[in-house]
């Protein structure tokens, strides 16, 4: 019997593309929110169905995976939600699915994980996304943190409260004042209102039928959290709930929200075969850990890692979609990389302070907006999506603009 092993099959990495992405309107968490009596899984089911409707040239049986993230994987966000969503969306039984959790970066990780599989030739087409119904599942509800975290001083007690970590970041960087974060929050509201008025938001929203015991049936077609016309005076009057005389308020931080997102990823050669659009190309990504007490600083090392691994510099990035969990963490990122607070490359449509941040879903929301911005800016070659992540992490994904006209290096 021969003991010679058969030769290994040579593999070539494939280009991974972002084909399409949609999301639900984002609602306010709580009994009065638009999705108060809507199931979390139904939100993401509607997203998957709309992706199929928008891309009829994609045979459902060609989908190799359905990866759906949720931070709280219980109740209507449990039961291996990627698989249950695939079944309830009408995908063939042959389409597998899984659930994953990286807190706020759940959908981002769904993209990087399945995108890596595409690049390696293990998948051709996938659906990736996330959902969070914070009205049904408040952040941290039902968890049982190991007492060693505190008893052995692995982390400070503030590390388990995201608002307190934002106050800690203010302490570390006193030059990021409350006035700066309020100004950033007001600008986010203004930019979102301008983007909405110009028709840049609604094309990506999936209308959702809603029901309320008191309100009856309705149709959610717009984001609920935005507060257009917010002024600095309005923000200055808000309370600081995490610390007496603190700096973090409801006006310079994202709220508690419900919503879902989803996208189609494919190998570029498969997208061409099927006639699917190519809205972005995946260049690379990076995840990094930081002290949990200053969780918001995470996007700095994750971006440095992603840039290093792709051979790019921050000067190559022409558009930034940064998740605005807290204004202070965005400003810490901008300061580190020498970018002005009002740089037009940063969140041109506004961000989570206005739109909302339904935790595990937000990563794909950033990608949807960046894809739209790429179409409007053929002079930009590279953009990135980045976010801070609970328990002290950051995530960054770098994308290439397929519409780049080659006139500039960015």
Distances (CA, A) of 116 to 111, 262, 382, 402: 8, 17, 19, 19
Question: What pLDDT, on a 0 to 100 scale, did the predictor assign at position 222?
Answer: 98
Q: Is residue 391 part of a domain?
A: yes
Q: Is residue 214 part of a domain?
A: no
Q: Is residue 275 part of a domain?
A: yes
pLDDT band at 3 (very low <50, low <70, confident <90, very high): low
Residues 6+ apart with CB under 8 A from 146: none
- Give the catalytic positions in this structure: 104, 357, 388
Give the integer Cα–Cα distance in Å for 237 and 233: 7
Question: What pLDDT, on a 0 to 100 scale, did the predictor assign at position 94?
Answer: 97
Q: pLDDT tens digit string along 371-388?
A: 999 999 999 999 999 999
Distances (CA, A) of 380 to 82, 164, 401, 403: 34, 37, 7, 9
Q: Is residue 364 part of a domain?
A: yes
pLDDT band at 410 (very low <50, low <70, confident <90, very high): very low
- Mean pLDDT to the nearest integer, 284-301: 98
Give the integer Cα–Cα distance in Å for 150 and 162: 16
Q: Is the pLDDT of residue 363 over 80?
A: yes
Q: Is residue 297 part of a domain?
A: yes
Q: Is residue 248 part of a domain?
A: no
Q: Is the pTM of this model over 0.75?
A: yes
CA nearest to 326, candidates 254, 377, 394: 254
Q: pLDDT tens digit string along 233-269?
A: 999 999 999 999 999 999 999 999 999 999 999 999 9
Taking every pair of C-alpha atoms in the chain, what is the biggest distance, in angstroms? 83
Q: Is residue 303 part of a domain?
A: yes
Q: What is the CATH number of the domain that holds 350?
A: 3.40.47.10
- What range defines the domain where residue 308 resides? 16-136+253-399
Kindly tell me the sign of the dihedral angle through the C-alpha atoms of 163, 165, 170, 171: positive
Q: Is residue 314 part of a domain?
A: yes
**Structural domains counted in the chain:** 1
């Amino acid at each position: 019997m021969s003991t010679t092993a058969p030769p290994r099959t040579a593999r070539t990495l494939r280009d991974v593309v972002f084909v399409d992405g949609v999301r639900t309107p984002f609602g306010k968490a709580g009994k009065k929110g638009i999705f108060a009596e809507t199931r979390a899984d139904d939100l993401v089911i509607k997203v998957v169905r709309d992706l199929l409707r928008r891309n009829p040239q994609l045979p459902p049986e060609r989908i190799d995976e359905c990866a759906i993230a949720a931070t709280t994987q219980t109740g209507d966000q449990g039961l291996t939600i990627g698989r249950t969503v695939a079944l309830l969306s009408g995908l063939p039984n042959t389409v597998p699915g899984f659930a994953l959790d990286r807190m706020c970066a759940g959908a981002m990780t769904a993209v990087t994980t399945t995108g890596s599989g595409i690049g390696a030739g293990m998948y051709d087409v996938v659906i990736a996304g996330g959902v969070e119904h914070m009205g049904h599942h408040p952040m941290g509800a039902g968890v049982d943190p190991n007492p060693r975290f505190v008893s052995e001083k692995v982390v400070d007690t503030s590390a388990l409260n995201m608002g307190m970590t934002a106050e800690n970041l203010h302490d570390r960087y006193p030059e990021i004042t409350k006035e700066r974060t309020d100004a950033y929050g007001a600008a986010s509201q203004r930019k979102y209102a301008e983007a909405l008025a110009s028709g840049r938001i609604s094309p990506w929203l999936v209308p959702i039928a809603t029901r309320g015991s008191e309100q009856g049936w309705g149709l959610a077609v717009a984001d609920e959290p935005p507060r257009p016309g917010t002024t600095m005076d309005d923000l200055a009057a808000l309370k600081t709930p995490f610390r007496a005389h603190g700096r973090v308020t409801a006006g310079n931080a994202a709220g508690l929200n419900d919503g879902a997102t989803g996208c189609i990823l494919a190998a570029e050669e498969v997208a061409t075969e099927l006639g699917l659009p190519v809205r972005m190309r995946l260049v690379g990504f990076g995840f990094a850990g930081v002290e949990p007490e200053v969780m918001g600083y995470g996007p700095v090392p994750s971006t440095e890692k992603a840039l290093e691994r792709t051979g790019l510099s921050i000067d190559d990035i022409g558009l930034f979609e940064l998740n605005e969990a807290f204004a202070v963490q965005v400003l810490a990122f901008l300061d580190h990389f020498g970018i002005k607070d009002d740089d037009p490359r940063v969140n041109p449509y506004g961000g989570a302070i206005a739109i909302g941040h339904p935790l595990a879903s937000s990563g794909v929301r950033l990608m949807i907006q960046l894809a739209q911005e790429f179409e409007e800016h053929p002079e930009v070659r590279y953009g990135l999506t980045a976010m801070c992540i609970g328990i002290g992490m950051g995530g960054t994904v770098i994308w290439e603009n397929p519409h780049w006209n080659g006139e500039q290096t960015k």
